[in-house]
Structure 1
Amino acid sequence: MFVLSRYKSSKHNLLPEFLRLLDLIPSQNKILESYSFGMKKKSQIAIAIASNTDYIIADEIFGGLDFETVILVQEIFDILSKKKIIIVVSHEQNTLDKFPSDIRLMRHGTLTHFEGSPNELNNFIKQDGVLHDKLVEIQQRFGHS
């Protein structure tokens, strides 16, 4: 409730609903330090949704979540993305596969739009600079039987 009090747009009544959906009701009155990493992540998701801002920035949102919760959060974000901006920040290809629209790539301190699929992004990165040189070195050193 403390975090929600910082946002005028907060819908406090949404918090218990999302705590229930994310299976956090039994732990809601425990101190945050006693939570597992996944429970902390679920709390962040519930609070972000209940804050009712025009956007949600979700940094590495799926780390520490069980498979069922990942599916649930994907569905929640899919519904919410029709009403607000959802920015998913990730270093994992699996996350890009789940949210393939409007991919932005941070390179050399600059954020650029990437036209293409997550798989094409993977291939693009493999062909660029230092990583390409390392991949060639690995192939030369270890690729031959």
Structure 2
Amino acid sequence: MDKAIVIENLSKKYKNNRGIQDLNLEIDRGEIFGFLGPNGSGKTTTMKVMVGLMKADKGDVRINGYSIIKDYENAMKNVGCIIENVTPFPYLTAYENMQLSSRFKNEVNEIKIDKCLEITGLIKYKNEKIKNYSLGMKQRLGIAMAILSNPNVIILDEPFNGLDVEGMVEMRELIINLSEQQETTFFISSHLIHDIELTCTKVGILYGGKLLGVDSTNNILKNYSSLENYYLSEVDLNADS
């Protein structure tokens, strides 16, 4: 099967000994992968390395078959991402922000921008300044920017953060629809177990910089009453090692 993302022996250590250690992971095309773990477990570090914002101590990441070390440009060609916070320009409108983020992409025009704003439910607010947007609306604008160039891999760091219940449901539907209709592969980090359980087709648990377990959501829910129980049992099993 076609692998969208392959992570091999990835390690990155900080001076305080935190970081990630020997991560190995394969994600198939069209999968929605949930990277689950508490704050400080190394999720953002991994994602920063994946998109080239940080250099790994060792290991490599291949996206769409291209190594981020040897062929960074091709590896990132079809990738959309939001790492940490979405920071659009507050004094510009949503549409102007979209125009700005598309300035290096030849194939993006007014119709494409409107379509992305439509998909993310922002079309009727496209001429409003971002400073008047709620946190959830800013998150959705971030997704609109991430899908603007029609990427086949989208990497999202905590996309459910700060959303109200309605916003979370909309975000989940948006991710699931893109995965099903366009075979978009998602790599999502979160510490919100419930949202990962309802959104992702595959889950990996990161704890203390180590990948404890990776399985399909279906398998997990066959063997455990909830993703939370699976998470707690994996953490328990590995606490002493």
TM-score above 0.5, yes or no: yes
Higher Rg of the two aligned structures: 1
For the aligned residue pairs, the C-alpha RMSD in angstroms reads: 2.8
> Is residue 74 from structure 1 mapped to residue 172 from structure 2 by the alignment?
yes
User: Alpha-carbon deviation of 1:36?
Assistant: 1.9
Q: Map 1:65-104 to 2 at 5 A.
A: 65-82=163-180, 83-104=183-204
Distance 1:8 1:110 in 2: 40
Q: Which residue of 1 aligns with 2:43?
A: none
Instruction: Verify the 8 A CA contact 2:157 2:189 in the aligned structure 1.
Output: yes
Question: Which string of whole-angstrom CA distances, capped at 9 and with x for unpartnered residues, describes residues 43-77 of structure 1?
Answer: 01122222211211122112233333333332222
Supply the AA of the counterpart residue of 2:230. Answer: E
User: Alpha-carbon deviation of 1:16?
Assistant: 1.6
Q: Map 1:8-87 to 2 at 5 A.
A: 10=108, 13-82=111-180, 83-87=183-187
Q: Which runs of 5+ in 1 are unaligned?
A: 131-145
User: Alpha-carbon deviation of 1:10?
Assistant: 4.7
Q: Which has the higher contact order (CA 8 A, sep 6+)?
A: 2
- Structure 1 stretch displaced more, 16-25 or 81-90: 16-25
> Is residue 121 from structure 1 mapped to residue 219 from structure 2 by the alignment?
no
Question: Which string of whole-angstrom CA distances, capped at 9 and with x for unpartnered residues, describes residues 85-135 of structure 1?
Answer: 1111111111221134221222333445523522312332245438xxxxx
Q: Which residue of 2 aligns with 1:4?
A: 102
Distance 1:26 1:124 in 2: 45
Distance 1:61 1:11 in 2: 26
SS in 1 for 2:127: coil
Q: Which runs of 5+ in 2 are unaligned?
A: 1-98, 221-226
User: Alpha-carbon deviation of 1:18?
Assistant: 3.7
- TM-score, length of structure 1 as denominator length: 0.69
Supply the AA of the counterpart residue of 1:71. Answer: V
Instruction: Verify the 8 A CA contact 2:119 2:174 in the aligned structure 1.
Output: no
Q: Which residue of 2 aligns with 1:142?
A: none
Indicate the percent of aligned positions where both proteins have the same amino acid.
Answer: 25
Task: Give the direction of change, closer, same or farther, for the CA distance of 1:126–1:8 in structure 2 (3 Å limit).
Answer: farther
Structure with the largest fraction of strand: 2
Structure with the largest fraction of helix: 1
